[in-house]
Amino acid sequence: MSMLSRRTSPLWLAALVHRLSGLALAAFLPFHFLALGLAISGEARLEGFLRWADQPLVKLSEGLLVGLLAVHMLGGLRLLALENLAWREGQTRFALLAVAAAMVVVFVFLASVF
């Protein structure tokens, strides 16, 4: 199997998405702490932040964040099952199922926000 064919397999892509989603979530964390700090520093600053966060582009970004969380969580559960249970045929199907479930979570989240 060549290097290129391995890098296009669904399981390799699932591992890549899991790692990239983890990095994106780690990059988001300081902004989350900033928002929490605004909540502590005063009602007026928090209110200004919440007005800004009510914009449609920010809501779509929140949907992306929820998607990243879902993909990372479901990918992690798949990896836990892979490491602790017997190998089963159909690992590709499990990876694709995790992505599909994450997409459903995003659509449900965005439907509830808009």
For position 8, what pLDDT does the model report?
81
Q: pLDDT tens, position by position, for the chain (114 residues)?
A: 566 667 788 888 888 999 999 999 999 999 999 888 988 888 888 899 889 999 999 999 999 999 999 999 988 988 888 888 887 777 788 888 888 998 999 999 989 988
Euclidean distance between CA atoms 80 and 113, whole angstroms: 32
φ, ψ of residue 85 to 5 degrees: the values are: -115, 165
For position 2, what pLDDT does the model report?
64
Look up the CATH number of domain 3-113: 1.20.1300.10
Of 43, 26, 47, 46, which Cα lies nearest the Cα of 34? Answer: 46
For position 3, what pLDDT does the model report?
62
Q: What is the pTM of this model?
A: 0.76
Angle between helices 91-113 and 10-41 in degrees, nearest 10: 30
Euclidean distance between CA atoms 101 and 97, whole angstroms: 6
